[in-house]
A and B are shown apart, each in its own frame.
Chain A
Amino acid sequence: MLFLESVASPPSIGEEWLWAILCAPLFAWALIVLYGRKLGVVSGYLTILGVGVACAISFAVLFNVIDADGGIATHSHEWFSAGPLVVNLGVRIDGLTAIMLVVVTTVSLLVQVYSIGYMEGDPGYGRYFAHMALFTTSMLGLVLADNLFQLFIFWELVGLSSYLLIGFWYHKPSAAAAAKKAFIVTRIGDLGLLAAILLVWTRAGTFDIAAVQDWATSGDAKGYIVTLFALGIFAGAAGKSAQFPLHVWLPDAMEGPTPVSALIHAATMVAAGVYLVARFFPVFEASSDARDVVAWIGAITALIAATIAIVQTDFKRVLAYSTISQLGYMMLALGSFGYVAAIFHLFTHAFFKALLFLGSGSVNHSTNTFDMRKMGGLRKYMPITFWTFLIGSLSLAGIFPLAGFWSKDEILLDAWRHNHALWAVGATVAFMTAFYMFRAIFLTFYGEYKGGEPVDHHDEDSHFHGDPKHPHESSWVMTGPLILLSIPAIAAGWFAYHETFGNFINGALPAVREEGSSFEFGIAISSTLIALAGIGAAYAIYYRRWVTSESLRATFAPFALLFENKYYLDRLYEDFLVKTVLQRGWNALLQANDRYVVDGIVNATGRLGRELSTRLRVVQTGQVQSYGLAIGAGVIIIVVAVYAANPL
């Protein structure tokens, strides 16, 4: 490999710039929080400004790192310490970081612009942009962190902002519930991450990422410890990246405003898990068991999500499930040594998935609904949206020469190399992906318009403008980002075609394995054919209606049921585990114990005392003689006792 000889020099960009990336959106956030009420519309521009600055610097960083052949630079400062516990604050840049920075800032920037239009007139306008800024900050911090502790902090903050944004329309019970669900489910995953942190600190005595990588690879750590650590990391990643079985929160998260879904629940935050695993890729390399777990969990996730996506009628949910399945894809790749491929797919996916979400938002903006059964024929009303959406879908389906094609293809290649079974799963998923995307397109943009959702003017919380009866194209602030995003959706794949990207990303790793070429015609052609097959199937069923979907559903009724009910996982978790087992069972038991046993004993003691007291009262008869008797008896008893105690 070319760059291995050429020594990678550390990037020269100054530390202050790196911190600036973090601080720019932070200031925007602070300002809005402090003066949100007065700012009004300005808050939006403020956020855009902050993110814009960050974006600009990020590109500078990217090129700087490219110049440095993907070298690594870290700057670290002690934050606090207690004896052996020393915690640092630091920034680390390398290829991986740089790419993530660019992705995050770019998508974020475009989404903010889009939001100006989308959130127009919402009572919580300022709040919305504050949360957005907060999210961007914490995401950047997560990416920049040079140690696990700091990473965990921003990891949680990302969770927080996700919570706030999902529950943005807090008056909708569904939104409030979804927000809670998202936070708690991801937190379950975070337990693993926390445990991993504890483990690595007690074993390796450090949080520093590089040091941890060395510790894991150096082999002086016990094998099972490394595996446990890796699994802990993956648990955290699975939470954030919505991997089976922790994926249930992501579809509900669509309760948030659509731009949020685009930015957080499609492009960036959900990718954080992938990023984390990639970050500690050497650890996974060191432990094959952990790697297999990652690969298979990814595969299962991809498959499950895809199957569910097929039967969704909600436009956004289709996209949500496709996101899950794509994330599963990335995990699958990581599990099969496809480090570069995973990041590459993350990179491309960020763009076209954001594009798709924003497109769906635009549709919703004119039809006031996400229910595809109420849409149709929108192609002529909103052409820009349609075309950009089409591009996104093709890219997602992996049609040559769009971005998705290259990255997905590379993943399938790695899967094939690693384990044919994984490849088979991947291929199936690819077929389904193409199928459900075009199902969505045909239902939405072709056929007759079915009138959308009539506006309920009594609901003071809805801020819908215009008339769903006559859909129209959205304003330029919304279409603009669509167009801009479609460019990387088309082109992002090309410059990754030759190996620079791979080397560049690999530079982030301490040691690099030999990799074969990242392209094989066999795989490429096969996957393309599979995708086309999927599109064809969709065309046959939903456009030509040679076969009606109803009849299909009837034929595969049990499967359809299973899919439509999301494999009954939500029921299992919420109704059975949480409501029944935990609340009605275990907790009720404990509370009963608290009330009746613990308190019971205490009160019983009191009652016993009173009882004893009442019993003893009868001694006090009021008869003088009985009192006298007591005196005399007392004397005798004492005397006899003393004589008995120590005899004469």
Chain B
Amino acid sequence: MTGIDVVGPQLAVLAAAAVVLLIDALMPQQRRVLPYIALVGLVVSALWTTSWVARDDYKTWFDGTLALDQYSVFFYFLFAGITATVVLASIDWVNREGRGQGEYYALVLTTCSGLMFLSAARDLITIFLALELSSIPQYILAGWGKDQRSSEAGLKYLLLGAVASSLLLYGMALLYGVTGTTLLVDIAGSIQADGESHRAVLVLAMCLLIAGFGFKMAVVPFQMWVPDVYQGAPTPVAAFLSVGSKAAAFAVITRVFFEALGARFLSDDWSMIFAVLAAVSMTLGNVMAIVQTDIKRMLGYSSIAQAGTFMIGLAAISVSGHEFTLGASGVLLFVAAYAFTNLGAFVAVIAISQKIGSDQIKDYAGMWQRSPFLTVALAFCLVSLTGIPPTVGFWAKIYIFNAGIRADLAWLVIIGVLNSVISGYYYLSVARQMFLGESSDGAKIPTSPSIGMALGVATIGVLVFGIVPMPLISAAHNAVEIFAQH
């Protein structure tokens, strides 16, 4: 029973998925309710998670393959929220596309459960499966659209994903081979015992893991699929990809590297790797975003840059356990902030492009006249992405740069701040289009309630946590306390 209880949140989500499928199959007329069932499932799962927080009995289950700790709880909430927003944002699109609605929501929910497992897994096998559980439905969703671009995006995503996960697998295999176990804690122990002698193979495994997860995190040089897939995939799915899988990847990589590969002789190496990757990702992502004309592509590149910024947190490992967690909590904070912000941006894009049927930035001209609400919300999210108060993005930026400085990574932080200037440039140019451009037709853009709600949630989150960041920061901080013990 306790086992069931432990995986309750995921079960709730999956159950919702099953119900959705059944209703879709048995009573097609009732399709309108599907998304709301999905939402119910997500709410239940969130409540379930809350009950843990209330009970406060954190431990690991299934012989240590699944961890039930503040860390996973943090991400459970996050993923539930993300998925809910995505579901809300999808409704209009799915109704219009009219292709297997039940299946769509079911897959979204499945992905969500996969993400949850991913954030809680403490065992290589479980991680691998959870990763696939969150990826394969996403491959499908990316190809869900009927047009060529969508299926092309799906296929590209899948092929590259397969290659990347093979690399990941090989890395895991090596890790297993050296340590003789797949449990992260035992791996850590065995490395502590006689890791030094196996440094070569460990480094190789480490790099392969970085490649595998880096693909999901979308950091240079594993990022190149991002713009294509974002542009081709249905916008709600792109939103899901841009926050869901990225967040999960960061969740898992943080856990794996801090728990299993935390040994000094490794962490010195990988913190440097992360630092370099961070610098490259930020710069490349931002520079390439400058000339983009398609807003989804632009957001894709910007998400690469953002990933680079998260990585400062991963790179920010210094000696004392305290600062150690500072970097990790920076990652979590940034992930959450980014989730709110980017979702908001994507939802706004969904609403707009549904109406004007284009993702070209130049077609956003004069939005300010056509839909003040959407314009302001989108502009707001862009401001948050730039890291200007009063938005949550500001806090994330400050916090993670602070971590970087304290980890003696001044050079990286300087690169970071310069990049925030570049990003300011292209985010502003979008805002400029919307506020100043002259729109060809002044037709108002209505906002459907679901979209409005999704957007509202995201923007409120951005604003509220921008003004009272304390809860979010402390949550992130407590979540990573578990690493302090190692």
Contact = CB atoms under 8 A, between A and B. Distances in A.
Interface of A: 606, 609-610, 612-614, 616-617, 619-620, 622, 624, 626-628, 630-635, 637-639, 641-643, 645-646, 648
Given A634-B211, A634-B222, A638-B273, A624 B204 contact: no
Contacts of A631: 160, 163-164, 167, 211, 215, 221-222
A121 to B, nearest CB: 56
26 contacts: A606-B425, A609-B290, A609-B422, A610-B291, A613-B287, A613-B289, A613-B290, A616-B287, A617-B288, A620-B228, A624-B155, A624-B160, A627-B225, A628-B160, A630-B222, A630-B224, A631-B160, A632-B167, A634-B211, A635-B207, A635-B211, A638-B211, A639-B203, A642-B207, A643-B200, A643-B203
A434 to B, nearest CB: 75
Contacts of A610: 290-291
Nearest to B163: A628
Residue of A612, A619, A631, A646 with highest tally of chain B CB at under 10 A: A631
Contact of A627 (B160, B200, B269): B160
Interface in B166-184: 167
A638 B270 CA distance: 10
B60 to A, nearest CB: 31
Contacts of B220: 634
A648 B199 contact: yes
A592 to B, nearest CB: 27
Interface of B is mostly: helix
Interface in B274-300: 284, 287-291
Contacts of A641: 273
A645 to B, nearest CB: 7
B156 A624 contact: yes
Contact of B200 (A606, A613, A630, A648): A648
A626 B159 CA distance: 12
A635 B160 CA distance: 14
A620 B221 contact: no
Contacts of A616: 284, 287-288
Contacts of B155: 624
Contact of A639 (B199, B207, B272, B425): B207
A501 B199 CA distance: 107
Contacts of B164: 631
Nearest to B265: A646
Residue of B159, B204, B288 with highest tally of chain A CB at under 10 A: B288
The 6 closest A-B pairs by CB, nearest first: A634-B221, A627-B224, A613-B290, A613-B291, A630-B221, A635-B211
Contacts of A646: 268-269
Interface in B430-483: none
Interface of B: 155-156, 159-160, 163-164, 167, 199-200, 203-204, 207-208, 210-211, 214-215, 220-222, 224-225, 227-228, 268-269, 272-273, 284, 287-291, 422, 425
Contact of B272 (A613, A628, A645, A648): A645
A63 to B, nearest CB: 73
Contacts of B159: 624, 628
Given A638-B210, A641-B273, 6 more contacts: A610-B290, A613-B287, A624-B155, A627-B224, A631-B167, A631-B215
A633 B224 CA distance: 13
A128 B61 CA distance: 97
Contacts of B204: 639
A634 B287 CA distance: 20
Contacts of A642: 203, 207, 269, 273
Residue of B155, B203, B224, B225 with highest tally of chain A CB at under 10 A: B224
A213 to B, nearest CB: 60
B182 to A, nearest CB: 21
A620 B227 contact: yes
Contacts of B156: 624, 627
Given A631-B164, A631-B211, A622 B290 contact: no
Contacts of B221: 630-631, 633-634, 637
Contacts of A626: 224
A316 B362 CA distance: 70
Residue of A609, A612, A620, A642 with highest tally of chain B CB at under 10 A: A642
Nearest to A611: B291
Contacts of B289: 613
